[in-house]
């Protein structure tokens, strides 16, 4: 089903690699297969059932609904709805605006994203890591450890309200450089101008990409790619230069060269004692002139609206670089650098902040071989903030909000919170400091279970405490287990989380896997045009739930809930009549009739 769409996306990707323009893109939005692929990628998202300004969500998706959207697009009559604006808290205590699109808008955005992403992804800089497939925070940090060594200064860049201040005219102009399709550009322009609803008052959008929109991160990357290109073509070219007396970079240290020559002669003579002695002496001095006035090195990495430049040279030039960046962003992209967050940090004596890590360079007299290498660290405020969730006035407390949950859920929640924190900081040199968080979280977990059963901490340890071996290491853990006959036991445990540093996490590979268009089973079920509750063969659409545990809360009489549990799926392909009954909490007699017939058939076969 997706073969034709896969071919189109592959062609777009090749044109992107060759920097060739795209033409007649709009007509691709006429193909149902594109919407099916888009739907299969977004239906499981947490926001699938989140309402926009109306009641419409991705619930109730059907082949007929795909067709209705296509007809509107064909006639150029599709109208974007204003998004419902809400606010989410930021780490600094302020609020970030977030837009909630309608269900059809999400689907059309996802279809457009598939087309544009296939073309633009190969054109993006290797120094850009935000909102991209097979890239993320850890790939950006890995690039820093490999490319940003031996630096004197870090320039921490933060763009003030980047997503809210993207200039629409400039963005459309950037898109028009490569996309020669006025109808698609007009559809995008209308999306940007659709506005938002706040307190039931419609307000216009005069700048920014619609945060919360599926296509917004891609549009932001397309916009910021102009900045990446300028940095690579202008800034790095201007400030990267080697010493006139060196072919590779800094001038060689004469003392180091003298010792190397003597060491070679000792090797030729077979004087092993002198050879080893000179080797130890050579380790204590740098191989190049550290303060080479001619040498300059500048490196750059970006994640979304945060970027970091590392510079080897005088501070006055670092300030010049910062001002050149400020001027380019202001004049070319209509963006402003944040004065509070855009800092110049000394690499050896201070610590820069990037993606939640502390970044500095090693400086050691005892181990000169590590000098200049990048050190990644867990900030103290991260540990303090993480411990705050489990403590009050510095002491561990139970969490009332978790007492009503099942033991498996309680232990699983504590484990996922702690393990998620550890995995994010897996590359940090001081990852062992997260043991403080683990200890406090464990104490809070035990107290939470003790409060649930109105017992003591000691008795909880006797009931749930055990030992578990993970990767050859034995850990003391808290474990809850439900034994099931003929099935694998349900187990949740807190602990057995290694605090060993991993400089290159296993999921980071040097190669990007070839994208594959995998047909979703949900699309197959939809195309079968058969209600999974009553067997009706018309008006089939999809019923969604946010999580499998949601149907269990509807009571014992919900036949559809048992059906979902048996299938172990969060979706049901049902006819319109059954879907309405499920939505309004009704029970249809034909569900019983179908179950009765099935029971009789099973009995007869036996």
Note the pLDDT tens digit of each residue in 251-302.
777 888 888 888 889 999 899 999 999 888 887 777 776 666 778 999 999 9
Residue 606, pLDDT above cutoff 50: no
What is the reported pLDDT for 239? 94
Lowest mean pLDDT among 83-97, 221-235, 345-359: 83-97
What is the reported pLDDT for 131? 93
Beta bridge partners of 572: 543
Of the pLDDT bands very low, low, confident and very high (cuts 50, 70, 90), residue 340 is: confident
Residue 593, pLDDT above cutoff 70: no
Region of residue 177 (left: phi > 0; alpha: psi -120 to 50; beta: else):
alpha
Give whole-number Cα distances, 551 to 230, 526, 560, in Å. Answer: 53, 21, 8
For residue 549, how far is the Cα from the chain centroid? Answer: 25
Averaged pLDDT, 369-374? 84
Q: Which residue has the higher pLDDT, 65 or 561?
A: 65
What is the reported pLDDT for 511? 55
Averaged pLDDT, 187-216? 89
Q: Write out the DSSP string of 457-521.
A: HHHHHHHHEEEEEETTEEEEEEEEEE--TTSPPEEEEE--------SS-TT--SSPPPP--PPPH
CB atoms within 10 A of CB 377: 18
Per residue in 441-499, pLDDT tens? 999 999 999 999 999 999 999 999 999 999 999 999 999 999 988 889 999 999 999 99
Of the pLDDT bands very low, low, confident and very high (cuts 50, 70, 90), residue 12 is: very high
CB atoms within 10 A of CB 504: 15
What is the reported pLDDT for 372? 86
- What's the first-to-final CA gap in the chain, in angstroms? 39
Residue 247, pLDDT above cutoff 70: no
Tell me if 294 sits within 8 A of 243, measured CB to CB.
Answer: yes
Residue 508, pLDDT above cutoff 70: no
What is the reported pLDDT for 562? 82
For residue 107, the number of C-alpha atoms closer than 13 Å in the C-beta half-sphere is 30
Tell me if 399 sits within 8 A of 391, measured CB to CB.
Answer: no
SS3 213: coil
Of the pLDDT bands very low, low, confident and very high (cuts 50, 70, 90), residue 596 is: very low
Q: Which residue has the higher pLDDT, 260 or 105?
A: 105
**pTM for this structure?**
0.88
Tell me if 108 sits within 8 A of 42, measured CB to CB.
Answer: no
Residue 557, pLDDT above cutoff 70: no
What is the reported pLDDT for 306? 94
Of the pLDDT bands very low, low, confident and very high (cuts 50, 70, 90), residue 363 is: confident
Per residue in 400-441, pLDDT tens? 999 999 999 999 999 999 999 999 999 999 999 999 999 999
What is the reported pLDDT for 213? 87
Residue with tokens 């795209």: 22
Q: Which residue has the higher pLDDT, 456 or 150?
A: 456
Over pLDDT 90: what percentage of the chain? 66
Phi, psi of 509 (to 5 degrees): -120, 160
Return d(Cα 179, Cα 21) in angstroms, integer. Answer: 6
Contacts 24+ apart (CB under 8 A), 380-388: 382/356, 382/425, 383/433, 383/434, 383/436, 383/437, 386/421, 386/434, 386/437, 387/436, 387/437, 387/440
Q: Which residue has the higher pLDDT, 606 or 152?
A: 152
Order across the sheet with 374-377: list the strands: 352-354, 357-361, 374-377
CB neighbour burial string for 300-316, b if at least 16 within 10 angstroms, e if fewer: bbbbbbbbbbbbbbeee
What is the chain's alpha carbon radius of gyration, rounded to the nearest angstrom?
Answer: 30
User: In whole numbers, what is the pLDDT of the chain averaged over residues?
Assistant: 89
For residue 356, the number of C-alpha atoms closer than 13 Å in the C-beta half-sphere is 16
Averaged pLDDT, 145-159? 94
What is the reported pLDDT for 14? 96
Q: Which residue has the higher pLDDT, 372 or 179?
A: 179
Q: Which residue has the higher pLDDT, 152 or 199?
A: 152
CB atoms within 10 A of CB 124: 20
What is the reported pLDDT for 33? 95
Could you give the angle at the alpha carbon of 362 between the alpha carbons of 358 and 367, nearest 5°?
Answer: 150
Return d(Cα 354, Cα 227) in angstroms, integer. Answer: 18
Query: Could you tell me the two tokens for 34?
Result: 């594109």
Residue 555, pLDDT above cutoff 50: no
What is the reported pLDDT for 279? 86
CB atoms within 10 A of CB 413: 18
Residue 602, pLDDT above cutoff 50: no
Residue 66, pLDDT above cutoff 90: yes
What is the reported pLDDT for 603? 39
Name 217's Cβ contacts closer than 8 Å, sequence gap at least 6.
130, 131, 304
Query: Could you tell me the two tokens for 289?
Result: 């002139």
Residue 128, pLDDT above cutoff 90: yes
Query: Could you tell me the two tokens for 128?
Result: 């850009």
For helices 168-176 and 216-230, the axis angle rounded to 10 degrees is 80
What is the reported pLDDT for 187? 97
What is the reported pLDDT for 605? 45
Residue 598, pLDDT above cutoff 80: no
Averaged pLDDT, 536-549? 87
Tell me if 275 sits within 8 A of 260, measured CB to CB.
Answer: no
Return d(Cα 364, Cα 322) in angstroms, integer. Answer: 29
CB atoms within 10 A of CB 604: 7
Averaged pLDDT, 554-578? 81
Over pLDDT 70: what percentage of the chain? 91
Name 407's Cβ contacts closer than 8 Å, sequence gap at least 6.
449, 464, 480, 492
Nearest to 241 by CA among 295, 320, 193: 295
For residue 591, how far is the Cα from the chain centroid? Answer: 42
What is the reported pLDDT for 551? 56
Phi, psi of 94 (to 5 degrees): -80, 175
Order across the sheet with 153-158: list the strands: 297-303, 306-312, 153-158, 343-346
Name 124's Cβ contacts closer than 8 Å, sequence gap at least 6.
132, 221, 225, 228
Of 4-13, 204-213, 364-373, highest mean pLDDT: 4-13
Residue with tokens 């050896």: 348
């Amino acid at each position: 089903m997706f073969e034709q769409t896969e071919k189109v996306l592959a062609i777009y990707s090749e044109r992107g690699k060759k920097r060739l323009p795209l033409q007649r893109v709009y007509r691709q939005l006429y193909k149902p297969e594109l919407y099916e692929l888009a739907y299969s990628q977004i239906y499981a998202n947490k926001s699938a059932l989140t309402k926009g300004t109306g009641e419409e969500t991705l619930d109730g998706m059907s082949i007929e609904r795909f067709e209705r959207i296509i007809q509107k697009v064909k006639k150029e009559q599709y109208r974007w709805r204003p998004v419902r604006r809400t606010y989410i808290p930021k780490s600094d205590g302020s609020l970030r605006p977030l837009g909630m699109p309608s269900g059809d808008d999400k689907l059309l955005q996802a279809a457009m994203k598939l087309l544009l992403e296939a073309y633009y992804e190969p054109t993006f800089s290797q120094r850009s890591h935000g909102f991209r497939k097979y890239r993320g925070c850890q790939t950006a940090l890995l690039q820093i450890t490999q490319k940003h060594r031996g630096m004197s200064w870090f320039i921490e860049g933060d763009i003030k309200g980047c997503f809210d201040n993207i200039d629409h005219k400039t963005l459309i102009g950037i898109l028009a450089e490569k996309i020669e399709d006025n109808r698609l550009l007009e559809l995008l322009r209308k999306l940007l101008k659709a506005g938002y609803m706040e307190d039931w008052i419609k307000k216009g959008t005069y700048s920014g990409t619609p945060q919360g929109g599926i296509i917004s991160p891609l549009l932001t990357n397309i916009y910021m790619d102009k900045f990446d290109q300028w940095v690579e073509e202008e800034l790095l070219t201007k400030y990267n230069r080697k010493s006139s007396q060196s072919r590779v970079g800094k001038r060689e240290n004469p003392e180091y060269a003298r010792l190397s020559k003597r060491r070679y002669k000792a090797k030729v003579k077979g004087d092993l004692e002198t050879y080893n002695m000179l080797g130890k002496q050579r380790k204590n001095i740098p191989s190049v002139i550290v303060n080479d006035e001619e040498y300059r090195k500048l490196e750059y990495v970006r994640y979304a609206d945060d970027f970091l430049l590392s510079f080897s040279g005088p501070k006055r030039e670092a300030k010049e670089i910062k001002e050149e960046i400020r001027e380019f962003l202001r004049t070319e992209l209509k963006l402003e650098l944040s004065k509070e967050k855009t800092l110049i940090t000394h690499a050896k004596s201070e610590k820069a902040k990037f993606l939640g890590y502390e970044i500095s360079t090693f400086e050691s007299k005892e181990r000169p071989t590590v000098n200049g290498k990048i050190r990644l660290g867990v900030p103290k405020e991260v540990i303090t903030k993480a411990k705050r969730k489990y403590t009050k006035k510095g002491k561990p407390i139970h969490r009332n909000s978790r007492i009503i949950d099942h033991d498996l859920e309680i232990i699983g929640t504590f484990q996922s919170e702690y393990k998620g924190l550890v995995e994010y900081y897996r590359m940090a040199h001081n990852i062992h400091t997260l043991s403080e968080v683990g200890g406090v979280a464990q104490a809070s977990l035990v107290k939470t279970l003790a409060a649930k059963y109105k017992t003591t901490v000691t008795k909880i340890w006797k009931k749930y405490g055990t030992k578990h071996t993970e990767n050859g290491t034995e850990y003391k853990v808290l474990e809850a287990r439900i034994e099931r006959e003929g099935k694998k036991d349900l187990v949740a445990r807190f602990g057995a989380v290694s605090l060993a540093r991993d400089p290159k996490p296993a999921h980071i590979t040097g190669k990007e896997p070839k994208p594959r268009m995998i047909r979703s089973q949900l699309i197959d079920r939809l195309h079968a045009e058969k209600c999974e509750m009553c067997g009706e063969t018309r008006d089939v659409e999809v019923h969604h739930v946010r999580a499998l545990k949601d149907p269990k809360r509807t009571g014992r009489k919900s036949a559809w809930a048992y059906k979902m549990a048996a299938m172990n799926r969060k979706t049901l392909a049902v006819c319109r009549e059954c879907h309405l009954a499920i939505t309004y909490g009704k029970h249809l007699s034909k569900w019983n009739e179908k179950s009765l017939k099935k029971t009789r058939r099973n009995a007869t076969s036996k």
